């Protein structure tokens, strides 16, 4: 499998770097050419990991990497490799040293000798001198020590997978609840413990949105009630929107705040963050009925459509650069200046996350145009970035005809959830069929019999540390949620069992993730509770079908799936009892308990309320005493 970037191992010129630097540093992409050169000349590698949106990356480009002495030293003593973190998250996952830019010194085999993040010119010169002296004195010792350090980390990851055992009861389909209840209680405890009552959000500074923690608060509020849970997501979203992390002129959220009170942001805007914020705002609108959240969601959509949508490519750009001076101007002054640069790369995972949020916007805001945009984007991803043999690609670069970097877990997980959403919103079986194909790819190329998914396929010896498996908790949690939906949509228990396997793989480690365990807790809740299923059945020309379908889709009863079915096709899902239905009807079930059919939206909403109350009777979001971990 080819994981080379679109420049095919040739020396690269990076956008955002000064012209002097472009003509002076002999940057290579990650690939055979650079590694073979390092081995042939027995030189260490200088790996720079940056982001097109990253302020301190630009600073380092225009200071350190523009310094003539630094340039001479790099070209003489190192083989320099430049990697964009968005385009190569697999490399970033193995080599990031605490932020961007990452500056890592590697052996010719790709093992880390030492490194840091931003390094000013004088310190960079001293660091390079130290590395080259150590390497010249005893290169074999340096290589051995770096290899041993990496082997220790790799061994820990392998042991992490080997020691996990499946603890799901098979006979009656019941799942073990002890460990899941502990995980949910721990995560809920951390959300309340780290919540900032004064300014909203979590912790002090820097302060990030923490999407999974806010989503957990929303779900806990639905099933457990209490003003504390509501305050967590309501106060946080209000504070973010009215604070400096939101752009009131052009719309859209910045990536994070450097201050506790949200007043001073890092000014880059990311498609991923805004897609996820859009989902949180829409859910809050549904939960509270507060028009503020719907208005805020529309404003995020305004930013996305006006700035990141690429109509000629039917996809969405990845990010917009940080520019503190530009964003400090009022709108009339901004309009006289060129906008901060937009990275027009189409990232599959981020586009897929937005697709799911656009479907959600279409029903909660009652604006069908977002459905059309979601479908247009999804069709582009299917046509240009999907292969039955390779899975989903990671990105489409502007001006390139071929998608790049195939099979990364984050793209499969996000696309899987976009596909299940598309099936639920359209009733078109082709989307569920594609989701099955993608799930099969993941099970074949990324999974073991038990345990979590690797972040990328490894079929041969890869360059550097790419052969080392990485098990990412965030994307594995997304996969577990996707598989819960697949189980509910298809009726196939194997998907639910795999979802449980994923959760169990992290059960010995989740406490170390603290607040970041919230995503895993949501996945565990989904596996434990299974999906509520609402089947909306009727002839496609029945005027009562669309209102029922929209009501079912907009309902917030997680985990929940909706199936839109024509009576004559009901046998396809083994529901022959639907075959004779003449009037549009909705059939809602929680596990084996099915409610009376609903024939109008009001009746269905009352049934949905009953579903929520039934789940409340055994809700697992119980806050425990602080664990001290």
pLDDT tens by residue, 417-459: 999 999 999 999 999 999 999 999 999 999 976 789 999 998 7
User: What is the structure's pLDDT at 620?
Assistant: 65
Lowest mean pLDDT among 56-70, 305-319, 568-582: 568-582
The Cα–Cα gap between 349 and 418 comes to 10
- Helical (H) or strand (E) element with 526: helix 518-529
Kindly state the average pLDDT of the residues 214-234: 96
How far is residue 453 from each of residues 155, 448, 473, measured CA to CA in Å? Answer: 17, 7, 9
Instruction: Look at residue 339 and tell me whether its pLDDT is greater than 80.
Output: yes
- Residue for token pair 């150590």: 134
* Res. 175 pLDDT band, cuts 50 70 90: very low
* Residue in this structure with the two tokens 């003539």, named with its chain if needed: 68
pLDDT in tens, 483-522: 999 999 999 999 999 999 999 999 988 999 999 999 999 9
User: Among 15, 6, 25, which Cα is nearest to 51's?
Assistant: 15
Q: Which two three-digit tokens encode residue 185?
A: 């209680």
Residues 305-333 have pLDDT tens digits of: 999 999 999 999 999 999 999 999 999 99
Retrieve residue 295's tokens: 């208005």
pLDDT band per the 50, 70, 90 thresholds, residue 169: very low
Q: pLDDT value at position 180?
A: 86
Region class of 562: left (phi > 0), else alpha (psi between -120 and 50), else beta: beta
Give the dihedral of Cα atoms 131, 132, 134, 137; nearest 10 deg.
170
Residue 170 has pLDDT above 90, yes or no: no
Task: Name the percent of the chain lying above pLDDT 90.
Answer: 79
Q: Is the pLDDT of residue 177 over 80?
A: no
Helix (H) or strand (E) holding 565: strand 560-565
Structural domains in the chain, CATH included, are 19-159 (3.40.30.10), 195-344 (1.50.10.20), 537-616 (no CATH)
Which tens digits make up the pLDDT trace of 526-560? 998 888 999 999 998 999 999 999 999 999 999 99
CA distance 414 to 255: 20
Q: What is the pLDDT of residues 292-304, one digit of tens each?
A: 999 999 999 999 9
Comparing 54-63, 139-148, 314-323, the range with the smallest average pLDDT is 139-148
Shortest CA distance to 435 belongs to which of 368, 481, 474?
A: 481
pLDDT for 155 equals 55
pLDDT at residue 393 is higher than 90: yes
Spatial neighbors of 416 by CB under 8 A, at least 6 apart, are: 435, 438, 439, 442, 478, 479, 482, 486
**Confidence label for 156 from pLDDT (cuts 50, 70 and 90):** low
Q: Is the pLDDT of residue 248 over 50?
A: yes
Give residue 617's pLDDT: 80
Q: Report whether pLDDT(178) > 60.
A: no
The Cα 473–Cα 554 span in angstroms is 28
What is this structure's pTM? Answer: 0.92
Burial of 329 (0-12, 13-18, 19+ CB in 10 A): middle
What is the average pLDDT across 42-50?
97
Integer Cα distance of 18 and 59 in angstroms: 11
The owner of tokens 């957990």 is: 216
pLDDT for position 159: 59
Preceding omega of 65 cis (within 30 degrees of 0): no
Closest CA to 551 of 471, 607, 626: 607
Scan for tokens 């929209």, then name that residue.
550
Q: Which residue(s) pair with 598 in the sheet?
A: 586
DSSP characters over 360-411? HHHHHTT-THHHHHHHHHHHHHHHHHEETTTEEEEEE-TT-SS-EEE--HHH
pLDDT value, residue 624: 54
Looking at residue 579, its pLDDT comes to 81
**What is the pLDDT at residue 23?**
47
Question: Mean pLDDT in the chain?
Answer: 90
pLDDT of residue 149: 82
Segment 458-464 shows an average pLDDT of 85
Higher pLDDT, 145 or 173: 145
- Residue count (the chain): 629
pLDDT for 571: 61
pLDDT of residue 162: 53
Q: Are 526 and 484 in contact, with CB atoms under 8 Å apart? A: yes
- Count H helices and E strands in the chain, helices first: 23, 19
Say if CB 555 and CB 612 are below 8 A apart: no
pLDDT at 622 over 80: no
Q: Which of 12-21, 210-219, 389-398 has the lowest mean pLDDT?
A: 12-21
For residue 7, is pLDDT > 60? no
Q: What pLDDT was estimated at residue 552?
A: 98
Could you tell me which residues are beta bridge partners of residue 104? Answer: 47, 115
**H or E element that contains 316:** strand 315-316
Cα 303 from Cα 471, distance rounded (Å): 34
Rounded to whole angstroms, the Cα distance separating 554 from 562 reads 10
Q: Which of 193-207, 326-340, 491-505, 608-622 is predicted with the least confidence, judged by mean pLDDT?
A: 608-622
CA angle 347, 490, 584 (to 5 degrees): 100
């Amino acid at each position: 499998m080819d994981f080379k970037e679109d420049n095919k191992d040739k020396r690269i010129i990076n956008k955002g770097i000064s012209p002097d630097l472009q003509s002076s540093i002999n940057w290579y992409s990650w690939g055979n050419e650079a590694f073979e050169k390092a081995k042939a000349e027995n030189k260490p590698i200088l790996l720079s990991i940056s982001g097109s949106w990253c302020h301190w990356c630009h600073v380092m480009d225009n200071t350190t990497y523009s310094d003539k002495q630094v340039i001479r030293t790099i070209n003489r003593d190192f083989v320099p490799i430049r990697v964009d973190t968005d385009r190569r998250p697999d490399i970033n996952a193995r080599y990031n040293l605490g932020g961007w830019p990452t500056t890592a010194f590697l052996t010719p085999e790709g093992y880390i000798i030492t490194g840091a993040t931003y390094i000013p010119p004088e310190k960079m010169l001293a660091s390079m001198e130290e590395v080259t002296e150590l390497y010249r004195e005893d290169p074999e010792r340096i290589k051995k020590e770096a290899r041993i350090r990496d082997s220790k980390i790799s061994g820990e990851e392998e042991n992490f997978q080997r020691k996990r055992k499946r603890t799901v009861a098979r006979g009656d389909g019941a799942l073990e609840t002890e460990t899941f209840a502990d995980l949910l209680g721990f995560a809920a405890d951390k959300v309340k413990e780290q919540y900032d009552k004064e300014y909203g959000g979590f912790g002090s500074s820097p302060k990030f949105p923490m999407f999974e923690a806010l989503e957990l608060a929303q779900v806990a509020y639905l099933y457990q009630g209490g003003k504390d849970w509501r305050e967590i997501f309501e106060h946080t979203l209000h504070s973010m929107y009215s604070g400096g992390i939101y752009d009131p002129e052009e719309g859209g959220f910045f990536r994070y705040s450097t201050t506790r009170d949200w007043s001073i942001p890092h000014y880059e805007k990311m498609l991923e963050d805004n897609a996820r914020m859009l989902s949180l705002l829409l859910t809050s609108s549904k939960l509270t009925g507060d028009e503020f959240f719907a208005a805020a969601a529309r404003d995020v959509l305004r930013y996305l459509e006006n700035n990141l949508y690429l109509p000629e490519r039917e996809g969405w750009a990845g990010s917009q650069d940080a520019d503190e001076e530009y964003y400090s101007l009022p709108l009339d002054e901004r309009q006289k200046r060129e906008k901060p640069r937009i990275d027009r790369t189409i990232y599959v995972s981020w586009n897929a996350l937005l697709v799911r949020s656009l479907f959600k916007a279409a029903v909660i805001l009652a604006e069908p145009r977002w459905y059309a945009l979601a479908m247009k984007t999804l069709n582009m991803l299917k046509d240009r970035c999907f292969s039955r043999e390779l899975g989903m690609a990671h990105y489409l670069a502007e001006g390139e005809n071929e998608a790049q970097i195939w099979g990364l877990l984050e793209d499969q997980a996000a696309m899987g959830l976009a596909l299940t959403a598309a099936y639920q919103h359209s009733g078109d079986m082709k989307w569920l069929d594609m989701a099955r194909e993608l799930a099969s790819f993941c099970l074949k190329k990324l999974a073991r019999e038990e345990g979590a998914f690797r972040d990328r396929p490894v079929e041969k010896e890869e360059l550097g540390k790419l052969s080392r498996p990485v098990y990412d908790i965030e994307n594995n949690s997304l996969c577990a949620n996707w598989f819960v939906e697949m189980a509910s949509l298809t009726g196939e228990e194997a998907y639910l069992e795999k979802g449980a396997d994923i959760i169990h793989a992290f059960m010995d480690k989740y406490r170390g993730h603290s607040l970041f365990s919230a995503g895993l807790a949501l996945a565990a809740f989904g596996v434990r509770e299974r999906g509520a299923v609402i089947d909306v059945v009727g002839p496609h020309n029945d005027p009562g079908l669309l209102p029922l379908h929209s009501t079912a889709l907009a309902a917030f009863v997680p985990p929940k799936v909706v199936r839109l079915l024509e009576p004559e096709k009901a046998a396809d899902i083994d529901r022959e009892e639907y075959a004779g239905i003449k009037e549009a009807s909705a059939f809602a079930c929680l596990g084996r308990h099915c409610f009376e059919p609903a024939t109008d939206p009001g009746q269905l909403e009352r049934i949905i309320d009953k579903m929520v109350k039934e789940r409340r009777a055994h809700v697992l979001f119980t806050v425990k005493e602080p664990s001290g971990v």
